[in-house]
Amino acid sequence: MKKLKFFIMTCLLIGSMALMACNKDGDLDIKGFIATDTPTPEESKSGEDVTPEPTKEETTPTETPTAEPTAEPTEEPTEAPTPEITEEPAPSVTEEPEAEKDIYPDPELLTVGILADGASEWSQGSNSHKLYEVSVDMLMLGEEDKEKYPNLALQLDVLNLGQSDLKDSNAKSFKKDVADGEGLGTGYYFLRDSINILRADSTVFSFSDTNGSFTGGVRPDTFISGKSIDTESGEILKIHDICNDCDSLGTTLAYLIAEKYDIEDAEKIISYIDEKVKNDEIVFAVGYEGVTFYFTPFDLDFAINDNVAVTLSFDESFVGETEEGPQMISLFKKKYSTATDYFMLSMNFGDELELADIDPEKSGFSTLNVAGIPSENSYADFSGFYILINGKEKFRKENIGADDTELYFIKCDGKNIIIVKTVQDSDDTYTYIYEITEDGEVRDALDGQASGMEFAKLKFYQGEEEWNYYFTDKVVYDPMDAKISKRFDVIGTNFVTAEITFNTGDEEIYYYTSPYYDFRGRHGLTLKKDFKAGMIDPELAFNDDEEVTGETDMEVELKAGDVIYLEKCTQDKQVYFSAENGEWGTFRMDPPEDEETGYTRTINGEDQDDIFDGIGYAD
């Protein structure tokens, strides 16, 4: 009988606990079985299952009744003790204060570059000329950034595949036209698709794309567009992703375009732009200081017969309704409008760059253009350049024949800096540095003297030999990391470099970071005769950037036929080299005959060509 009573009591006890564990809808409530005062994961603000260990005072309901109770159960069984769930929440990750949810740290700049790829064909015979040319740009991402942002890397691969298809299809079409006898005489068909990176950081990757082509007619066709990619997700951004007020954006842009391009009636283009915004079809690129919107001649052909680009500042705002009433709200979302206040951009002749508030008395953006002066001589494409601010010429440099140029704009420590590098047919390079002052004037930072420097570059090599490569410049978008290399002739026309970086704290725009010049490449020189040099300890030869110590009165004696490799030198042309036998040595070039050029070619009064074999030309 006792066993029967115990069985009945046990069943009643289990049934009672089950009823208590059901919610008002009769569904089983798992919380009824949890014996701590910790909320379940659904209740935890952090969304995590945080369950501390029970304390000594807590009762554990999972204990099983013993087989032989110590006390005779009463006829009216008492309910099993149920732990109370207190209202005090369990420890959880503290949420951000409401006011700080829209705060983003400065994004980190990426390492990116542009790789040129193309195809062309020339006619045969004495009157050889180009029949067609196709050139497209590919986007390159640094290896570390590929690992950090795999979705961005994948999106760039997709875009590059499209560029490759563009190259192949146009080259095939041009080749067919030429074969069918539809050539342009001494002229030629071309397609040039040039990419200019406008922003590259851990939040946004943006660029403009200029597509120019000529297949006959009066003039080439040129179309400019832009694209922005979310760096984390790799998704191409739409206007609704970045804008807080798309309803009034069309009107704002229409009046801005009307003001910039002298359109009398902005109402004509409002409905067109509104429709583009509504359908997420408007073309834009998120920059460091604002968002640039692009329109082709066909978009606004009833108003403007040219490409149009206007920029809205990140400071742009509108009056929006909130729970606390009307308030000023940023036009663009904080995530995408938070950018670094220092950056570097590459440019091309004729590119227009909009800069925020150069003139403190003027609101909005000022435009910057650097334009080339066409050369009348056959040996150079350009005879100089000029700089325009808001369409007005502020600076002109002439008589500097060049076949190619590289342009960079740098914003660093509140300074606006322009770098113009010219490359002549002889491979001589000259670099000119200018600063845009706050009042919109242009100051020659080098007082008219060409620096003889060139911007540092990396090349993407293909093949085993150094000269078998697709060439590209790796644009360094961090001005704190930007370097310039100074050309320094020594041992003939081989040249060495010293790093120069932009100074962000002092008056000088740039400064030397090393007292030594590193030879570019490891080129061997073969001795024509026996040669003596000072011996140094190789462990002390590269003593960071401190003075080389360890030079002794001992001599290293080299024999005719030995090969040495130039390693470093100083401004006074003290040369350090390594030999094939592992020894290190040093010698000094004689003082230059021409102090202005600093060029020298003798060692101990003897011509370098009488000592060394294998002296090459500048690479």
Give the DSSP per-residue string, 498-518. -EEEE-SSSSSSEEES-SEEE
Domain assignment of residue 240, yes or no: no
Q: Using one digit for the tens of pLDDT, what is the confidence trace for 155-173?
A: 999 999 999 999 999 999 9
Whether residue 472 sits in one domain with residue 362? yes
Domain assignment of residue 434, yes or no: yes
Q: Supply 345's token pair.
A: 């951009």
Is the pLDDT assigned to residue 285 strictly greater than 90? Answer: yes
Domain boundary among 48, 68, 93: 93
Query: Looking at per-residue confidence, does 81 or 137 come out higher?
Result: 137
Q: Supply 250's token pair.
A: 């069309």
High-pLDDT (> 90) share of the chain, %: 29
Whether residue 447 sits in one domain with residue 350? yes
Query: Looking at per-residue confidence, does 130 or 548 come out higher?
Result: 130
Whether residue 480 sits in one domain with residue 350? yes
Domain assignment of residue 54, yes or no: yes
Q: Using one digit for the tens of pLDDT, what is the confidence trace for 10-53?
A: 555 555 554 454 444 444 343 333 333 444 434 444 444 444 44
DSSP string, 449-469: ----EEE----EE-SSSTTSE
Whether residue 608 sits in one domain with residue 524? yes
Whether residue 431 sits in one domain with residue 374? yes
Q: Distance between CA 18 and CA 362 in Å, rounded? A: 75
Domain assignment of residue 212, yes or no: no
- Residue 490's φ and ψ, nearest 5 degrees, are -160, 145
**Of 152, 163, 169, 174, which Cα lies nearest the Cα of 117?**
163
Query: Looking at per-residue confidence, does 218 or 259 come out higher?
Result: 259
Assign 476 a pLDDT band (cuts: 50, 70, 90): low
Is the pLDDT assigned to residue 7 strictly greater than 60? Answer: no
Residue 223: the pLDDT is 92
82 contacts 18 by C-beta, under 8 angstroms: no
Domain boundary among 486, 505, 534: 486
Assign 412 a pLDDT band (cuts: 50, 70, 90): confident
Whether residue 473 sits in one domain with residue 412? yes
Is the pLDDT assigned to residue 512 strictly greater than 60? Answer: yes
Q: Using one digit for the tens of pLDDT, what is the confidence trace for 304-321?
A: 678 899 999 998 888 877
Residue 351: the pLDDT is 86
Domain assignment of residue 618, yes or no: no
DSSP string, 253-311: HHHHHHHHTT-S-THHHHHHHHHHHHTT--EEEE-SSEEEEEE-TTTTTTT-SS-EEEE
Is the pLDDT assigned to residue 145 strictly greater than 50? Answer: yes
Region 454-481: what's the mean pLDDT? 50
Whether residue 553 sits in one domain with residue 598? yes
Residue 38: the pLDDT is 41
Domain assignment of residue 236, yes or no: no
What is the value of pTM for the model shown?
A: 0.69
Is the pLDDT assigned to residue 373 strictly greater than 60? Answer: yes
Residue 189: the pLDDT is 87
Q: Which range of residues forms the domain containing residue 413?
A: 340-486
Q: How many domains does the chain have?
A: 3
In the predicted model, what is the mean pLDDT of the chain?
76
Whether residue 450 sits in one domain with residue 377? yes
Assign 429 a pLDDT band (cuts: 50, 70, 90): confident
Query: Looking at per-residue confidence, does 285 or 68 come out higher?
Result: 285
Q: Which amino acid is at 28?
A: L
Residue 563: the pLDDT is 93
Assign 103 a pLDDT band (cuts: 50, 70, 90): confident
Domain boundary among 93, 117, 145: 93
Whether residue 463 sits in one domain with residue 551? no
Radius of gyration of the chain (CA): 36
**Of 157, 156, 149, which Cα lies nearest the Cα of 109?**
149
Whether residue 555 sits in one domain with residue 460? no
Whether residue 479 sits in one domain with residue 433? yes
Region 375-386: what's the mean pLDDT? 84
Assign 240 a pLDDT band (cuts: 50, 70, 90): very high
Domain assignment of residue 441, yes or no: yes
Q: Which of 19-33, 196-210, 516-530 has the lowest mean pLDDT?
A: 19-33
Domain assignment of residue 481, yes or no: yes
Whether residue 452 sits in one domain with residue 390? yes
